[in-house]
């Protein structure tokens, strides 16, 4: 891995020159891509230069070991010992930094939550999960926009599609995709029996126009009147929008805004994200099974977590993590889970 470093530094120097090139500066898209690459390499190059500096200091001290003065030789030995420990730490840091970064990590996300098995209890838990993620995003000062919401009369959610805008949102949410299971006694259960319900979560990186260009002729647009729970009219204009991508048959609806134009823009973002996710999944399928096992597949059919209310317990099945902090986790305090999972997959990638 460390053999890549000289080439990385050379590329970094080339990019620094490009960033002052008038032709690059005048092209907004090209400048953004190059600036992004520069930011991605900066930390690696700084750490590599620190590595080289320590390596040179170790070499200089090794030459002093031949000095006639025993005190100077002892000082050199102590210095070498300290520098070697630092070099080991920097080497490990470099290995971590050289793990290929997910190009989608800094992106906004499309969050889709759907009630699964369990009827109304699943819908109520879907609402709990959406509240959990919303509070987590709010604590990070990220913006949340609902694109589509199908609620129930009792306050549950059959389906919600929301956009979360914030730098690094995908890096934090990407391992949340999967089936979330809840075990609790429903309020309607007279005999106090614990029921198990399931909710599916999908996290999609927002696709930029340069990554996912959709032909206008491939989109069928339908408009209709928004409806709320029980079919009650929400507004009196045809503001809700349904987009159908004819090549794939993919359908996206949006009715949260009163403006047809805004609903169409939101629906298009969701459609692009889904098609982009499909494209990523197809690329992942082409990779070897070994590579997929190293980085994790993010398979949304996988049961990833159980929330057990009687025990106040949350268990993530992928890494065997159990926390008895159910109440605080449902209030959005999920950083400990997210960091533990990210660390696990990072360690797997290092292997």
Region of poorest pLDDT, from 6-10, 35-39, 186-190: 186-190
Domain boundaries, the chain: 2-97, 109-285+301-350
Nearest C-alpha neighbor of 250 from the set 213, 207, 220, 210: 220
Which residues contact residue 216 at a Cβ distance below 8 angstroms, ignoring those fewer than 6 apart? none
Going 317 to 318 to 319 to 325, the CA torsion angle's sign is: negative
Fold adopted by 109-285+301-350: Alpha-Beta Plaits (3.30.70)
Phi, psi for residue 346 in degrees, rounded to 5? -65, -40
Per residue in 24-80, pLDDT (tens digit) is 889 888 898 899 889 889 999 999 999 999 999 999 999 999 888 999 999 999 999
Nearest C-alpha neighbor of 122 from the set 162, 161, 152, 145: 152
In whole angstroms, what is the distance from residue 94 CA to residue 260 CA?
A: 50
Q: Is the pLDDT of residue 117 over 60?
A: yes
**How much of the chain exceeds pLDDT 70, in percent?**
89
Residues 86-111 have a mean pLDDT of 88
In whole angstroms, what is the distance from residue 263 CA to residue 213 CA?
A: 19
Region of poorest pLDDT, from 105-109, 270-274, 344-348: 344-348
Please provide the size of the chain in residues.
Answer: 351
Q: What is the pLDDT of residue 192?
A: 76
Region of poorest pLDDT, from 85-89, 158-162, 171-175, 254-258: 254-258
């Amino acid at each position: 891995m460390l053999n890549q470093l000289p080439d990385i530094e050379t590329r970094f120097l080339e990019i620094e020159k490009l960033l002052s090139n008038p032709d690059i500066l005048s092209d907004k898209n090209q400048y953004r891509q190059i600036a992004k690459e520069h930011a991605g390499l900066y930390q690696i190059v700084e750490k590599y230069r620190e590595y080289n500096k320590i390596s040179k200091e170790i070499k200089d001290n090794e030459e002093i070991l031949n000095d006639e003065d025993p005190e100077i030789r002892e000082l050199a030995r102590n210095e070498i010992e300290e520098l070697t420990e630092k070099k080991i730490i920097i080497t490990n840091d470099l290995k971590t930094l050289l793990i290929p970064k997910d190009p989608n990590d800094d992106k906004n996300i499309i969050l889709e939550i759907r009630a699964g098995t369990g009827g109304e209890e699943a819908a109520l838990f879907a609402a709990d999960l959406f509240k959990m993620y919303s509070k987590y995003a709010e604590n990070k000062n990220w913006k949340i926009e609902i694109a589509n919401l199908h609620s129930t009369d009792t306050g549950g959610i059959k389906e919600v599609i929301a956009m979360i805008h914030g730098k690094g949102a995908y890096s934090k949410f990407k391992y949340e995709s999967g089936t979330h299971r809840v075990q609790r006694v429903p309020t309607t259960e007279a005999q106090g029996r614990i029921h198990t319900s399931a909710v599916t979560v999908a996290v999609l990186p927002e696709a930029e126009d340069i990554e996912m260009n959709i032909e206008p002729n491939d989109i069928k647009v339908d408009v209709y009147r928004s409806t709320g729970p029980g079919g009650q009219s929400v507004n009196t204009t045809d503001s809700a929008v349904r987009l159908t991508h004819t090549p794939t048959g993919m359908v996206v609806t949006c009715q949260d805004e009163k403006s047809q134009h805004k609903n169409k823009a939101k629906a298009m973002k969701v459609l692009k994200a889904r098609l982009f996710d499909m494209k990523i999944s197809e690329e992942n399928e082409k990779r070897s099974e070994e590579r997929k096992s190293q980085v994790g597949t993010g398979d949304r059919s996988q049961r990833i977590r159980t929330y057990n209310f009687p025990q106040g317990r949350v268990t993530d099945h992928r890494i065997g993590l159990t926390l008895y902090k159910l109440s605080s986790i449902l209030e959005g305090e999920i950083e400990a889970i997210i960091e533990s999972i990210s660390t696990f997959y990072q360690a797997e990638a290092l292997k």
